[in-house]
Amino acid sequence: MKTTNYLFTSESVSEGHPDKVADQISDAILDNFLAFDENSKVACETLVTTGQVVLAGEVKSSAYVDVQEVARQVINKIGYTKSEYKFDGDACGVFSALHEQSDDINRGVERAEPLNQGAGDQGMMFGYATKETENYMPLPLELSHQLLIELAILRREAKEIGYLRPDAKSQVTVEYSEDGVPQRIHTIVVSTQHDEFVLAGNGKTQAEADEEMVAKIKEDVKNILIPRVLAKNPEWKKLLDDNYILHVNPTGKFVIGGPHGDTGLTGRKIIVDTYGGKGAHGGGAFSGKDPSKVDRSAAYAARHIAKNAVAAGVADEILVQVSYAIGVAQPLSVYVNTYGRANVEMRDEEIALRLEKLFDLRPKAIEQRLKLRNPIYSETASYGHMGREPQVVKKTFSSRYTDTIEKEVELFTWEKLDYVDKIREEFSL
């Protein structure tokens, strides 16, 4: 019988995208509070627009953080440093409306016995993993991220491509076989902000100048960007044939961008942050939230479970859902879906029970197991929270109100394959 292939698409956005600017500011503020007081409770939302940053939310902490200065540092680091962008770190206004966390929420979360700490909110969180890439992430999203990571490197090098500005988006469509195995890269879309490097005049119309710019950008994406990405990920070369479709800045020139071109908000790119639309998402955003908020910590825990389960051989693809009630420590439910791709002779319900036995999913236990009370979140706020490389780094935090501190922290602990042996033993693999 003839099989039917299908197409699946995911997108990513750069660190200079307005929504990601907002995410990075929120997480940098969170990191600074955690650096000086690891017990800080933070829920920080950010809005960015032309020449303006607005901070709002709730904080309970013994630390005092100059949030305006933190926001400016983030904006400059991203690359918004020129007045022609109509948004730059040194000149934009920063308005803070952060205030104390509600006692009603705090009362429901804190307990005399720390491990009985209740969840910071109700909701359901998902984790997902698949064997289709080396880091157990969906290929369309992983390729979308890598295109923009490399584009940012090219922008900062300013050698091969000197006209790039910080805002950019990518999108990749992959053709899959009926049984879910990637067959080929079908379409790549890249939209990048750029300088106005071809001007009208001397007989050249504005339309002709714009067309020349777009043609040059497409040529550079095809001949510089994509080959550099493939050189770093050689396993993808066999999936890209001469018949793939490439769209670059399909609406034309893209000079006006960033927060001047589009207002940005924290938490508006949750699918980019997770699995690109594969699996599922509970709806809760991550950035700006301390780990007592299970929107964040339980989503990381669910990814940790899913990745280790696939790596252990339980299934080739797996979705894990956990749910909570505010103020209640134990999850209300744990659900597993292997999409019919399990490698063990048992129902998904039994797989869920066995995994739940191995992983303590109380919020405080998740915090401790994944070391989430450390200032590790700025690095998560662009190019995805999942599929990243666990690593130990030293981070420095300075404040006009206290001594500068240096902390050694472990990033992306939920990506560690440290439960594979335990899972194999439990499932007799």
Residues 288, 59: contact at Cβ < 8 Å?
Answer: no
122 is in an annotated binding site: no
Residues 131, 316: contact at Cβ < 8 Å?
Answer: yes
Report the SS3 class of residue 396: strand
17 is in an annotated binding site: yes
Strand order, beta sheet including 317-324: 123-130, 317-324, 333-337
Integer Cα distance of 246 and 226 in angstroms? 10
Let me know how long the chain is. Answer: 429
**Residue listed under structure tokens 């709806």:** 283
Query: Residue 147 carries which side chain, given as an amino acid letter?
Result: L
45 is in an annotated binding site: yes
285 is in an annotated binding site: yes
**Residue listed under structure tokens 């923009």:** 148
101 is in an annotated binding site: yes
167 is in an annotated binding site: yes
60 is in an annotated binding site: no
186 is in an annotated binding site: no
Question: Phi, psi at residue 105, to the nearest 5°?
Answer: -70, -45
Largest separation between any pair of C-alpha atoms in the chain: 77
269 is in an annotated binding site: yes
Residues 411, 390: contact at Cβ < 8 Å?
Answer: yes
103 is in an annotated binding site: no
289 is in an annotated binding site: yes
Integer Cα distance of 366 and 348 in angstroms? 23
110 is in an annotated binding site: no
**Residue listed under structure tokens 């099989």:** 3
Residue in 143, 158, 136 with CA at minimum distance from that of residue 220? 158
31 is in an annotated binding site: no
131 is in an annotated binding site: no
Neighbouring C-beta atoms of residue 69, cutoff 10 Å: 15
58 is in an annotated binding site: yes
Binding-site positions for ATP read 17, 167-169, 253-254, 262, 268-269, 285, 289
Binding residues for Mg(2+): 19
Q: Which residues are annotated as a binding site?
A: 17, 19, 45, 58, 101, 167-169, 253-254, 262, 268-269, 285, 289, 293
* Known binding-site residue numbers for L-methionine: 58, 101, 262, 293
Which residues are annotated binding-site positions for K(+)? 45
